[in-house]
């Protein structure tokens, strides 16, 4: 390993190699070829970054909000200009198709755009004469040094759920990206370097658990945003909160979708195939379970099996490919094992994506679309997040039975329904135990000006990512009650 194939950290406005010999390989999941190496930064790197952030904060906080957003306008422009290059990097490190990579960057850019409205979004409110001659004001002030820890499946979009809001509201921000997909983040920070932020305002520390623990324990860090699996979300939430930090931790998912007999079948199948198999099922808003109601059992099952079997799997930079590999050999093994668990629990494998290879990419971590029928609602497969291109089918007699299946699980990231009945849709919207609900939508991803609202085991905290929630998360409210006695103003 030479310096040419090692990634660096961006601390205090400088690119620097981490003070460690511990590096992980960054592997292209379509080819299994090592592309570079990422440092497992020690706690000392976090300490240096926090000191730089704390030093930058007083001046950044005093910079007027209208000036603070100017670098974000530049960031938007640079992201647009480098869209193709960044999308190719994401496909190569993450496996998703080029179109999916472009889509994630566009969703990230939306957050930059929304954060450019901070001068309005972070306004407080006030009342004159709350008592005679006394006025009261609420101001929003930044917290100070804040951080985010992000997962592998959206290397750029998820950091952008947080970073623009944190910086625009006057905080200094440290990102610890996923060690599995650090290359697009590295390139992103090379763009950040050009937007004119003062040193220490925005920093990148690569690494794994040691770096995360150092963030969780550092007394100067006021708030941490996390996105990843539920066990890690719980750990991070509890350790950060025990250290007195403001926390928002988004966890895993197992998203059910109800298919009513009156749904438009072609639309439902097309959208569901993208929801279940798009990004190789590695979206936290992927459909994982389809609950068919009544006659939809036969029609949907047959059409979905055809859609699963015909999806083109391969290297995501090839134009006709509709689905790429999963992130790693471990992931492939885990997903294939879980399909076996479902089979042992009595499900029928209608379309089997195990042990399949893509010609020319035989070493890649490919799992083909898989459809399991008759999955037991209380079994291990039905309770476990698969995070792969696997759709489980369950069947219900009516909408009430379907809603009971939807609500009988621990996660609450997303629930959807396909129907042409307004009454069924309204009932579902009202009753579904999930924070993001889709009606004739397969991936109910909120736009940047709405919160990303997972519930239950999918979220730990109060304020969610994006939009107004992001502004509230990164600011603390100060209320000022003010009296200026009349006699003091007589001189005027």
Any bridge partners for residue 258, and if so which?
Answer: 291, 417
Tell which residue, 347, 349, 384, has the closest CA to residue 369. 349
Any bridge partners for residue 23, and if so which?
Answer: 39
Q: CB of 149: closest distance to ligand NAD in angstroms? A: 5
Q: How far apart are the first and last CA of the chain?
A: 74
Q: DSSP labels for 339-378?
A: HHHHHHTT-EEEE--TT---TT-TTS-----EEEES--TT
Residues 397-436 that bind ligand NAD (CB under 6 A): 413
Backbone angles phi, psi at 130, to 5 degrees: -70, -25
Our finding on whether 111 is near ligand NAD (CB under 6 A) is no
Q: CB of 239: closest distance to ligand NAD in angstroms? A: 9
Our finding on whether 387 is near ligand NAD (CB under 6 A) is yes
Which uninterrupted H or E stretch holds 148? strand 145-149
Q: CB of 225: closest distance to ligand NAD in angstroms? A: 11
Q: Measured at CB, which residue is nearest to ligand NAD? A: 228
Please give the C-alpha separations between residue 433 and each of 148, 406, 413, 426, 427, in angstroms, as whole numbers.
Answer: 27, 8, 9, 14, 12
Catalytic member of 94, 172, 249, 284 = 284
For ligand NAD, how many residues bind (rule: CB under 6 A)?
27
Q: Please, which residues have CB within 8 angstroms of residue 191's CB and are 6 or more apart in sequence?
A: 75, 78, 79, 82
Q: CB of 106: closest distance to ligand NAD in angstroms? A: 17
Q: Is 284 a catalytic residue?
A: yes
- CA 443 from chain centre, in angstroms, equals 13
Q: Which of 141, 229, 238, 421 binds ligand NAD (CB under 6 A)?
A: 229
Backbone angles phi, psi at 29, to 5 degrees: -70, -15
Q: CB of 386: closest distance to ligand NAD in angstroms? A: 10
Our finding on whether 212 is near ligand NAD (CB under 6 A) is yes
Our finding on whether 232 is near ligand NAD (CB under 6 A) is yes
Q: Which of 41, 48, 91, 153 binds ligand NAD (CB under 6 A)?
A: 153
Our finding on whether 144 is near ligand NAD (CB under 6 A) is no
Q: Per-residue b/e over 1-35, b at no fewer than 16 CB within 10 Å?
A: eeeeeebbbbbbeeeeebeeeebbebbbbbbeeee
In this complex, which beta carbon is closest to ligand NAD, that of residue 39 or of residue 71?
39
What mask, x for binding ligand NAD by CB under 6 A, covers residues 172 to 191?
----x-xx------------
- Do 253 and 388 contact (CB within 8 A), yes or no? no
Binding range to ligand NAD, per CB under 6 A, among 14-22, 33-41, 151-159, 310-318: 151-159
Q: CB of 283: closest distance to ligand NAD in angstroms? A: 7
Q: Which of 159, 252, 435, 461 binds ligand NAD (CB under 6 A)?
A: 252
- Do 267 and 307 contact (CB within 8 A), yes or no? no
Q: Which of 197, 205, 223, 284 binds ligand NAD (CB under 6 A)?
A: 284
Question: Which residues are the active-site residues?
Answer: 284
Residues that bind ligand NAD (CB under 6 A): 149-153, 176, 178-179, 208-209, 212, 227-229, 232, 235, 250-253, 284, 385, 387, 413, 452, 454, 458
């Amino acid at each position: 390993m030479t310096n040419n194939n090692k990634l660096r950290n961006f601390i205090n406005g400088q690119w620097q190699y981490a003070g460690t010999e511990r590096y992980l390989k960054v592997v292209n999941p379509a080819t299994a070829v090592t592309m570079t190496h990422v440092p497992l930064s020690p706690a000392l790197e976090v300490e240096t970054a926090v000191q730089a952030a704390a030093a930058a904060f007083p001046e950044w906080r005093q910079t007027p909000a209208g000036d603070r957003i100017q670098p974000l306008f530049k960031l938007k422009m640079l992201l647009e200009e480098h869209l193709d290059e960044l999308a190719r990097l994401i496909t190569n490190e993450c496996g998703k198709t080029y179109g999916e990579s472009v889509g994630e960057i566009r969703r990230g850019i939306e957050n930059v755009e929304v954060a450019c409205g901070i001068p309005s979004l972070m306004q407080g409110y006030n009342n004159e004469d709350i008592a005679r001659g006394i006025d009261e004001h609420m101001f929003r002030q930044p917290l100070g040094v804040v951080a985010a820890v992000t997962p592998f499946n959206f290397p750029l979009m998820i950091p952008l759920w947080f970073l623009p809001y944190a910086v625009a509201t006057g905080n200094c921000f440290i990102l610890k990206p996923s060690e599995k997909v650090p290359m697009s983040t590295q390139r992103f920070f090379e763009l950040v370097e050009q937007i004119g932020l003062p040193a220490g305002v925005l920093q990148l520390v690569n690494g794994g658990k040691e770096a995360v623990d150092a963030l969780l324990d550092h007394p100067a860090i006021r708030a941490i945003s996390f996105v990843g699996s539920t066990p890690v979300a719980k750990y991070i939430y509890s350790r950060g909160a025990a250290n007195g930090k403001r926390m928002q931790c988004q966890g895993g998912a197992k998203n059910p979708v109800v298919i009513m007999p009156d749904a438009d079948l072609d639309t439902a199948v097309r959208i569901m195939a993208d929801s279940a198999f798009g990004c190789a099922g590695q979206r936290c808003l992927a459909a994982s379970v389809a609950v068919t109601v009544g006659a939809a059992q036969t029609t949907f099952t047959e059409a979905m099996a055809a859609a699963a079997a015909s999806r083109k799997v391969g290297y995501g930079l090839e134009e006709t490919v509709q689905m790429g590999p999963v992130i790693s050999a471990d992931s492939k093994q885990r997903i294939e094992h879980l399909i076996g668990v479902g089979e042992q629990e009595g499900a029928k494998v209608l379309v089997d994506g195990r042990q399949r290879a893509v010609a020319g990419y035989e070493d890649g971590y490919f799992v083909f679309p898989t459809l399991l029928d008759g999955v037991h609602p209380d079994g291990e497969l039905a309770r476990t997040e698969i995070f792969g291109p696997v759709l489980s089918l369950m069947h219900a007699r009516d909408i009430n039975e379907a809603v009971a299946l939807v609500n009988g699980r621990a996660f609450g990231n997303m629930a959807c329904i396909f129907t042409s009945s307004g009454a069924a849709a309204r009932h579902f919207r009202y009753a579904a135990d999930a924070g993001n609900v889709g009606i004739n939508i397969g991936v109910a991803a909120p736009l940047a000006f709405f919160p990303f609202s997972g519930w239950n085991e999918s979220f730990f905290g109060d304020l969610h990512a994006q939009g107004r929630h992001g502004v509230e998360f990164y600011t603390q409210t100060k209320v000022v009650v003010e009296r200026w006695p009349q006699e003091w103003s007589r001189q005027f």
